[in-house]
Amino acid sequence: MSIEIKISKKRISYKTAMLYLNKRVQEVKIEKNRELLWILEHPTTYTAGVSFNKKEIIDKKIKLIKSNRGGKITLHNPGQKIIYFVIDLNKKKKDIRKLINVLEKSLIQFLKSYKIKANTDRKNIGIWVNGKKIAAIGIRVSRWVAFHGCSINISNNLNQYLKIIPCGLNNKKITSIFKETGDIPKNFEKKLADIFVKNINHI
């Protein structure tokens, strides 16, 4: 079965998205539903992956939502796009490193279409532009079903990163498409989805 592509125009709360995502994971495990690629935005939300440290919270007033994804503390806010997925690696190569490579490749290809030269970093997961992080990746795998996803900064407020130490970085090491080019991409969701689906199908 082909991957279902879901593009949400309205902002979706993190908790609502997680309920939907976790339900789909269970359905994919028992072959009751298709794999999923879901592009959306969250309202301003701070989430903590399984390896986060409380020392990474600078503003103690923020509300932090704990997540079962890999990684540390991060920010989701308007102007940042989230690419969630549920991928059944039982029907592909059971290779998590290969999956991460495909996610990295997809983000780099998307950024290249806006004339942004991005790269990976051996020591730090994610996508980087001149030493600044523009996209994050956090996944979880259960019985070879991979889920959670990626976030890419399009035109979001980077100052909100000042309330945390995202992935051990300060906000001077965070960037966005708008910060790099001065332009805000429009109606790019289908292009983004197509790049991801094409690459995921080659796992």
Q: What are phi and psi of 34, to 5 degrees?
A: -80, 165
What sign results for the dihedral spanned by CA atoms 32, 35, 41, 47? positive
Q: Residue with structure tokens 């079962």?
A: 68
Q: 118 with 129: CB under 8 angstroms?
A: yes
Amino acid at 21: L
Backbone angles phi, psi at 83, to 5 degrees: -115, 95
Q: Is 167 a catalytic residue?
A: yes
If we measure between CA atoms, which residue out of 137, 71, 141, 144 comes closest to residue 103? 137
- CA separation for the pair 178, 176 (Å, rounded): 5
In the set 136, 145, 167, 177, the catalytic residue is: 167
* Separation of alpha carbons 141 and 50, rounded Å: 13
Catalytic residues: 167
